[in-house]
Structure 1
Amino acid sequence: MEWYTYVILPALIFVARILDVSIGTIRIIIVSRGNRVLAPLLGFFEVLIWILAMGEILQNLDNWVCYIAYAGGFAAGNYIGMLLEERLAIGTLVFRIITQKDTTALVSALYKEGYGVTEIDAKGKFSKVNVIYIILKRKKLQQVQSIIQQYNPSAFYTVEDIRNAQYGVFPVNRPSTFRRRILKIKR
């Protein structure tokens, strides 16, 4: 009985908190993107798991190990939720590049990869600058950063989340290696 009370029950509470906090992190991102179907569904499971964990805490108020498991699960859930959000890379970004350098090669490289690019001549504090805007899926962020690093490593840039974008030029999503193999087999 003590094994259950001081090891298994706290472990279950710890895992439950990781799940509900991770789901909550993803739910908040989904809400900010305006998904009206998935957000309530995630919210349902988030709260259901929380109620189950909290119910066990309330039934075992004299078990301090459950409190530690609850707090530890919350902390771990935040961390895991952030990792999940990073891996899922949900959403659309606006990428703004400001540079004094000639942008011809950079813009060509971005066009070659299928990105829509808007260029604006502007005036900075000390000289004329070029401002480049790109709207991209978050999954493509590292690709654009590496293109910039290759063609203009000293460029200043900012990245911002946007809720929605339409009618833009976006790179065509190539099928995964697995899907390409399946498609070859079907032919």
Structure 2
Amino acid sequence: MEYIAGYLFIFFSRCLDVSMATIRTILVVKGKKFTAASIGFLEIIIYVFAINKVLTGMDNIGNVISYALGFATGNYLGVVIEEKMALGTLIVQVVTNRDIEKFSKYLRENGFGITVMEGHGKEGKIHILQSVLHRKDLHSFEKYVNKYDDSAFITISDARTIRGGYFKNRIINKK
């Protein structure tokens, strides 16, 4: 029973610290220095206890396997947690040849700030709708775009810093 408790300790410790490392890394990229440092502090404490347990029992293959399984599971869980948290801001561009006035009005009526630009593509004149969104609003935005123009070309990129504009105060309709 003592061996199983040790394996579980190693596995769950590793799951936790690797999940935290994933979130910390994303926070570093997003410029959230203090939060990332705080998570890193806790992460390394957990890591030290887990690695100590493994290294003091290197003759027990179960410790090593528990460590490896915890690491792999922690990576998976970290990504799942980050997707649920939906941290960050996105810049979304929608290229369409539909009626731009109606399309932009439709998106604005559904709570999205839209900037319209004109461009020229292979087949002539096109319009580009640009919006800045919280990541958690992306699915909703895509749903509205696909409902209006399921052949629209959409590009999405991360935005590190946002200041001012309609984005700051808007509220998404939950339809």
Please give the TM-score of this superposition, normalised by the length of structure 2. 0.93
Taking the aligned partners of 1:42 and 1:97, their CA distance within structure 2 comes to 36
Aligned to 1:31: 28
- The residue matched to 2:117 in structure 1 has which SS? strand
**Root-mean-square deviation (Å):** 1.3
The residue identity in structure 2 corresponding to 1:107 is S
Q: Does 1:56 align with 2:56?
A: no
Report deviation, 1:72.
0.6
Q: Does 1:164 align with 2:161?
A: yes
- The residue matched to 1:119 in structure 2 has which SS? strand
Report deviation, 1:173.
4.2
Taking the aligned partners of 2:170 and 2:90, their CA distance within structure 1 comes to 16
Q: Does 1:132 align with 2:129?
A: yes
Report deviation, 1:108.
1.1
Aligned to 1:110: 107
Taking the aligned partners of 2:130 and 2:5, their CA distance within structure 1 comes to 53
- CA displacement, residues 1-57 of structure 1 (integer Å, 9 cap, x when unaligned): xx212x110111000011001101111111111112101000111111111100000
Say whether the 8 Å CA contact 2:112–2:170 is kept in structure 1: no
Say whether the 8 Å CA contact 1:135–1:168 is kept in structure 2: no
Distance 1:161 1:120, change over 3 A: same
What is the aligned residue count? 171
Say whether the 8 Å CA contact 2:95–2:126 is kept in structure 1: yes
Aligned to 2:62: 65
Which shows bigger deviation, 96-105 or 155-164?
A: 96-105
Taking the aligned partners of 2:104 and 2:151, their CA distance within structure 1 comes to 15
Report deviation, 1:100.
1.9
* Identity between Structure 1 and Structure 2 (%): 35
Unaligned runs of 5+ in 1: 175-187
The residue identity in structure 2 corresponding to 1:30 is L
The residue identity in structure 1 corresponding to 2:2 is Y
Aligned to 1:4: 2
Moved beyond 6 Å, runs of 4+: none
**Given the alignment, which residue of 76, 79, 82 partners 1:79?**
76
Say whether the 8 Å CA contact 2:111–2:171 is kept in structure 1: no
